[in-house]
Every structure is written in structure tokens, then in C-alpha cells.
Amino acid sequence: MSADTSRAVAIVTGGASGIGAAMVRRLVADGAQVVVVDVDGPGAKALATELGGPVVAVAADVSHEDDVESYMGAAVEAFGRVDHVVLNAGIGSSTPLIDETAQGFDRIVAVNLRGVFLGLRAALRQMRTQSEGGAIVVTASTAGLSGSSNAAYSAAKHGVVALVKTAAIEGAALGVRVNAIAPGAIDTPLMHAREQRLGGDEAARRTLHAMTPLGRFADRYGSPDEIAATTAFLLSDAAGWITGTTVAVDGGVLAENPFRPPTSERR
């Protein structure tokens, strides 16, 4: 079983902004000692400075093996152990399969899938040397649980879900739980960019809100804080019997039949 979120030593990759920064803030608020990892080193340092206290920033590209070993080592050097690892770093893609380049595909897979493989391996190896066990949460996507128009991204995220299941099986013998979260439409720069492609006005926002069952009626996206709250739960002892699963935090997207008749035809 993992250490509780309070007093834990946690690593968050992709932690300098967006969902990752919300995760860092939540863990710090819960009393954790946090290592903020991001390819944007100055951004990670700025967040660590802002939060103060037991927060360390590390610049790293999660697709590079040496960088992954570096951030894991930095956590051990700063705090003596690692209890929780949140593998959140990732990059997006909106290129259709027919237009994708091999170079573009390889880059998406390098960060979103290879980076998770390297992070999971490093976390399990470190936790194997400890007696307390631990907990790992990986950011997947609804695109990893269903079809998607973003071929490379979806393929990588499907791979992430498979890695999480395998890591959960191996981690069980070490007292390590491994789960994933699958965010849907979250209020981040990615969604704002999509708004701009649709015209950038209120009608565009409402159109995108309406793609999510909860968003359709609440007229909003999910928030990074809601993703962070789910992550904190999965890391905590309250989730002590949960491993190898992917929790969709998607406002109901995956629950809905994509072939929706017009409102007037519904019964």
C-alpha cells in the first residue's frame, strides 16, 4: 500500500503548467514534498519558487533515458525516497493518419509512450529498493480508450493504458499500485486553441462544451483541479485496493452513444 498523500515524496512530470501544475499544487496543499519535472526548466523553477517549501524543480525531457534517471535521482537526493510518481508529461497532435509524417509519429510516441515506459521502469526500480511500497498515476486520455482522429496521439495513449496494466501486475509484488487517468475536455490551452480554430467566440466555446454530456448542461469544460483531485485520490490510501485501472475524468464522453438523435427524437 502506498504512503498517504500527506508527508509523501512525489514526482510530477510535465508539472510546470496546465494539468501538471494543478497536480503539483494539490499535492503540495496536501502536505507532500514534490519534485516538479518539465522540459521547460525555467517554468518548473518558477512554480517551485512560487510554492516555496519542500518543492524541487528539475529540467528533463522524459523521452531521454538519462533525463529520467536524473529526475529520479534528484528526488532521492533531495528527500531520501520516492512514494508517488505522476507521469503526466505529454505532447499533443491533431494530424490525421493520412497526413502524419514518420518523424511526427516518432516524436509523439517518444514523449507520450517511451517517456511513460522509462518513467514506470525508473519508479518501480526505485520503489523496489524501499520497504514502503508506493503509488503511480499516469495521464492517459479518452483517446487511449476509444478511437480518435489523432492517430499518433491515440496510438501512444492506447499503449500507455497497456503499460499501466502490466506495471500494476509487476508492482503488486512490491506493494506498488499503478493506475491511469483519462482526461476528456479540460480547460487548458489545448481547448482554447480549438476554440480559436472554430472562431474563438462564445458560440465556439458552447459548441465544444456541448461535446461533453456534463459540459452540455453545465456549459463548461472540466477543470485541471478536478483532474488533480482524482490523481490525489488514486495516490492516497483511500484507493488502496485500486490498481491497473484507467479512470475516465471526461464528463461522460465515453458513456455516450456517439450516434445521438436530435433532441426532438429522443424518448
Q: Is residue 228 part of a domain?
A: yes
Q: Is residue 65 part of a domain?
A: yes
Q: Is residue 69 part of a domain?
A: yes
Q: What is the CATH number of the domain that holds 110?
A: 3.40.50.720
Q: Which domain holds residue 77?
A: 9-186+222-252
Number of helices (H), then strands (E), belonging to the chain: the values are 10, 7
Q: Is residue 26 part of a domain?
A: yes
Can 221 be counted among the known catalytic residues?
A: no
Return d(Cα 33, Cα 27) in angstroms, integer: 8
Q: Are 83 and 2 in contact (CB under 8 A)?
A: yes
CA distances from 49 to 52, 54, 56, 88, 189 (A): 5, 10, 9, 21, 23
Q: Is residue 88 part of a domain?
A: yes
Q: Is residue 100 part of a domain?
A: yes
pLDDT in tens, the chain (267 residues): 445 666 899 999 999 999 999 999 999 999 999 999 999 999 999 999 999 989 999 999 999 999 999 999 999 999 999 999 999 999 988 788 999 999 999 999 999 999 999 999 999 999 999 988 999 999 999 989 988 778 899 999 999 999 999 999 999 999 999 999 999 889 887 778 778 888 888 888 888 898 888 999 899 999 999 999 999 999 999 999 999 999 999 999 898 866 666 555 444
Q: H-type helices in the chain, by residue range? A: 18-29, 41-51, 65-79, 102-109, 115-128, 151-172, 189-197, 202-209, 213-218, 224-235
Number of domains in the chain: 1
Whole-model pTM over 0.85: yes
Dihedral of CA atoms 72, 20, 46, 220 in degrees, nearest 10, equals 180
One of 71, 79, 117, 153 is an active-site residue; which one?
Answer: 153
Dihedral of CA atoms 248, 250, 256, 257 in degrees, nearest 10, equals -90
Q: Interior CA angle at 217 toward 215 and 220, to 5°?
A: 35
Which grid cell is 46? 518558477
